[in-house]
């Protein structure tokens, strides 16, 4: 399939490029289809490839020596992952797995460097994108360091419930545990606590946030 220029146009890295320039960028990109559960990247291995999510959802995570996962990011269509490896040439900082069938665009380090040399505005875009990413990761560090599990879970659920994006993958308790930096067992207890506080309702396969104010109070009270 030809690389979609209308998609590339929406990627912050390529903001401001004209059609001819986007076509040039497209010639340096390759397509990769991944099945549900497919491992795109393994933490610590060398790939030096950045991926853009065209469709599907990718879970980026680190694994502790005890085997506990910490989700760093869930990349949705239009978002990228493993970006840093094309800039510093070092191993993959995290593993990446498809949460459903996904289509990705890949960009190798040498090709990204060619694009940045060829089109200097891309370098400025790169600094903006990476600055945004640093802020997101600083927020994650704060969450993991200072908030108790119930507060962290309340934040995750509230963000998911109020996220207007069309594609919202369902989360198992294991996913929530990985996102909150805790064990699955703790999530079960925390969900019950949130339900008892009147913040959420467990409606079979659905977690319904019924009182956003209480959720915010739980986030702050446990901070």
Which residues are at the interface with other proteins (CB under 8 A)?
157, 160-162, 168-175, 184-185, 188, 201-212
Report, in Å, the least distance between residue 10 CB and other proteins: 25
Judged by beta carbon, residue 86 or residue 99, the one nearer other proteins is 99
Report, in Å, the least distance between residue 82 CB and other proteins: 24
Cα–Cα distance list, 139 to 134, 142, 152, 167, 182 (Å): 9, 5, 12, 23, 17
Report, in Å, the least distance between residue 171 CB and other proteins: 6
Rg of the chain on CA atoms, in Å: 19
Judged by beta carbon, residue 29 or residue 76, the one nearer other proteins is 76
Report, in Å, the least distance between residue 130 CB and other proteins: 29
Q: CA 201 to CA 2: how far, in whole Å?
A: 46
Judged by beta carbon, residue 29 or residue 149, the one nearer other proteins is 149
User: Vertex 185, ends 143 and 201: CA angle to 5°?
Assistant: 80
DSSP β-bridge partners for residue 81: 51
User: Vertex 104, ends 48 and 18: CA angle to 5°?
Assistant: 90
Judged by beta carbon, residue 1 or residue 206, the one nearer other proteins is 206
């Amino acid at each position: 399939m030809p690389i979609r220029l209308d998609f590339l146009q929406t990627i912050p890295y390529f903001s401001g490029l004209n059609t001819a320039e986007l076509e040039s960028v497209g010639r340096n990109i390759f397509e990769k289809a991944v099945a549900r559960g497919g491992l795109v990247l393994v933490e610590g291995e060398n790939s030096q490839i950045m991926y853009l999510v065209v469709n599907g959802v990718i879970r980026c995570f680190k694994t502790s020596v005890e085997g506990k996962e910490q989700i760093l990011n869930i990349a949705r269509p239009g978002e990228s992952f493993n970006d840093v490896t094309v800039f510093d040439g070092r191993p993959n900082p995290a593993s990446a797995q498809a949460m459903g069938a996904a289509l990705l665009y890949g960009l190798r380090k040498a090709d990204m460097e060619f694009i940045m040399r060829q089109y200097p505005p891309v370098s400025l875009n790169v600094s903006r994108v990476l600055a945004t990413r640093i802020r997101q990761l600083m927020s994650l560090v704060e969450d993991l360091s200072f908030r108790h599990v119930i507060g962290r879970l309340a934040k995750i659920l509230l963000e998911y419930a109020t996220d207007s994006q069309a594609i919202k993958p369902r989360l198992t308790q294991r996913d929530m545990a990985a996102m909150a930096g805790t064990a699955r067992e703790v999530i079960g207890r925390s969900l019950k606590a949130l339900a008892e506080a009147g913040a959420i309702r467990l409606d079979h396969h659905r977690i319904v946030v019924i009182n956003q104010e209480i959720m915010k109070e739980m986030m702050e009270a446990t901070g």
